[in-house]
Amino acid sequence: MDAMTESGSFLDRLPDEGRGVIADADARGLKVRLLGGIAIKLLLGDRFDPAFERPYGDIDVLCGRKDGRGLEELLAARGWEPAKEFNALNGARRLLFHDPRSSAQVDVFVGEFSMCHALPLADSLGRPGPTLPAIDLVMTKLQIVELNAKDRSDLYALLSGSDVGDGDHAAIEPRRMAELTSRDWGLHHTFELNLAKLRDDVAAGGGPAGAAVAIDALIEAMEAEPKSRGWKMRARVGERKRWYELPEEVDREG
């Protein structure tokens, strides 16, 4: 088998590799769960619409703050090579690993998910399944200030393929999202902007009609949730002050 064929074959198996990483982590008592495109595909299973199928270039995971070292050892045992300089500088919050046979990589968020906004998702690491709950996966996509086609597609897959209801990790849970946004105006604002764009796109026929129920439920829950004093004070400033972070660019595919 030539190098190009072997590389393509491994990339095709990334969802299985992601599942294997979580199985090994569970066996070692590490708190690790998948996020990103592969997580969405695995969480939805038969409910994943093939229209949203895409190639995957990386495995994204969130691990507990005390589990980074154990995860490093696990990934090394599975043949992943650390990005030594990046990890030395960022290891307390982020780690990267590369596959020597291909362009694939593992992107690890340590303790919390933080890009345009910080999301405290570590409390979900004990919930069942190899992935974060559906609503957490939705939020990691909605927090992106400038959604690209890939992220929009992932969101539509989730929003159209999941039920809506609180208390079910496989369902869209509006209350969980509303509780977070009620304390953080910036997060609320990014979410409301993106949900409005998605709703308009669906209404114009550019997105799946099945996503409308979840989109409307999330918007209604955010609007109804009582807001904190800090939220109200920050809302007075509005967009006059930037309400999001500019995430560090790393070499990643999906």
Tens-digit pLDDT profile for residues 110-137: 999 999 999 999 999 999 899 999 999 9
**If you ran DSSP here, which 8-state letter would residue 131 be given?**
B
Q: Residue 247 falls within a domain, yes or no?
A: no
pTM (predicted TM-score): 0.93
pLDDT of 252 above 70:
no
Residue span of the structural domain in which 188 resides: 3-240
pLDDT band with cut points at 50, 70 and 90 for residue 161 = very high
The CATH number assigned to the domain holding 117 equals 3.30.460.40
Q: Where is pLDDT greater, at 68 or 11?
A: 68
Q: Report the DSSP beta bridge partners of residue 119.
A: 113
- Please report the pLDDT score of residue 42 as a whole number: 97
pLDDT band with cut points at 50, 70 and 90 for residue 22 = very high
- Please report the pLDDT score of residue 9 as a whole number: 84
- Please report the pLDDT score of residue 8 as a whole number: 62
- CA dist 205 and 203 (Å) reads 5
Mean pLDDT over all residues of the chain?
94
Q: Residue 88 falls within a domain, yes or no?
A: yes
Q: Residue 251 falls within a domain, yes or no?
A: no
pLDDT band with cut points at 50, 70 and 90 for residue 253 = very low
Q: Residue 139 falls within a domain, yes or no?
A: yes
pLDDT digits (tens, 9 = 90+) for 52-67: 999 999 999 999 999 9
Length of the chain: 254
Q: Residue 250 falls within a domain, yes or no?
A: no
Q: Residue 249 falls within a domain, yes or no?
A: no
- Please report the pLDDT score of residue 110 as a whole number: 97
Instruction: Using alpha carbons, select from 76, 93, 41 the residue that is nearest to residue 245.
Output: 93
Describe the strand order of the beta sheet including 105-110 as a list of residue ranges.
32-35, 58-63, 105-110, 94-98, 81-82
Q: Residue 246 falls within a domain, yes or no?
A: no
Residue range 169-175: mean pLDDT, rounded: 95
Q: Residue 248 falls within a domain, yes or no?
A: no
- pLDDT more than 90, % of the chain: 89
Say which amino acid occupies 129: G
Domain count, the chain: 1
